[in-house]
Amino acid sequence: MQDLIRHRYAERISQEQAFANQLFEANSYLNIGLFGVVVFSLIFLRNRFAVRASKLMAVVREIGSGNLAAQAAVFGSDEISELATTINAMAANLNVAFDKLEDKIKLSGKALSDLEIERSRSEKLLHNILPAAIAERLRGGEETIAEVFPEVTVFFSDIVGFTELSAKLGPHATVNMLNAIFEKFDELVETHRVEKIKTIGDSYMVVGGVPNRDPLHCQHIANFALDAQSFITNFAEGLPYPLQMRTGIHTGTVAAGVVGKKRFSYDLWGDVVNVASRFESTSQPDKIRVSEAVKVRLHDDYVFLDGGIVELKGKEATRSFFLIGKKALMPGILEFTTPRAATASSS
């Protein structure tokens, strides 16, 4: 009986087992497929989002470190690709903006350099027109500069027969001659720490003790005058025409200040200026006529000769002397000049 039952249901059981095996096999394949889909999805999502986001962050870091040429190579139509496009456009705009800024900085630097050059030129021109101390005071905001200097020494010089000489030489040769003379005088001004006031034609005016007060103003002007006269003497030796200079020096009180608003001029006023000018105009060729006030201040160290009486307009006649040189450099002349000077004084 049992055998009949087994035989009857064996085929059906076999079919059920085969179906169960097929069902299990299908389920296994389905599970493997689902696992593959999950893995593929993870890989896709990683490549689609994580990797692209990592690339985008790397580009952002480069831009943040200053590499504005960095570009995010992220493509697509999602938010990350839109963000990458925006970041690329921002970097490009920043790059253009920084290029323009660098150009402006270069232009600004050049403008500042040009401005500094012009400022230096202006300062140099101002210092050529005015004493350095006065120029600084004007730059500091002072509008009116006027002072009284109780102790100064004024020097005047001019070329003997300049009008006739300039007519013979012509304008170009005359200007070249004056340039050569005044250029050397300007060097001597710096050497002896005196101040050039102005030139008028062939006349050259210098002062010691202005605008910087100087107790040795008279000595400095005397040294300047001796060197200037020595230069003229040597300079004339190489010329085909005669060249001589007259000089006058006086010491006393002056008023000094800046006049003019558009064209500045630093000038001196007072009897000292008038007397020095008169001494120059009445001096002898290649001689330095000085006042008794100058001789009193310098007689211990310098050699003088009696220069006679000088008539001054509106004033009493005054005694004058000729400055010859320094005693230390003229020992041979001392013995000769001292008795003569004493005789002149007694007369």
Q: DSSP string covering 291-334, please?
A: EHHHHHHHTTTEEEEEEEEE--TTS--EEEEEEEEEGGG-HHHH
Q: What is the DSSP letter of 50?
A: I
Distances from the Cα of 148 to the Cα of 61, 162, 209, angstroms: 72, 34, 11
Q: What are the pLDDT digits (tens) for 48-71? A: 666 667 766 777 777 777 776 777
Return the SS3 of 252: strand
Give the pLDDT band (50/70/90) at residue 144: confident
What are the pLDDT digits (tens) for 176-216? 999 999 999 999 999 999 999 999 999 999 999 999 999 99
* Residue 75 DSSP symbol: -
State pTM to two decimals.
Answer: 0.65
Delineate the domains of the chain, giving CATH numbers in brackets. Answer: 1-113 (no CATH), 145-346 (3.30.70.1230)
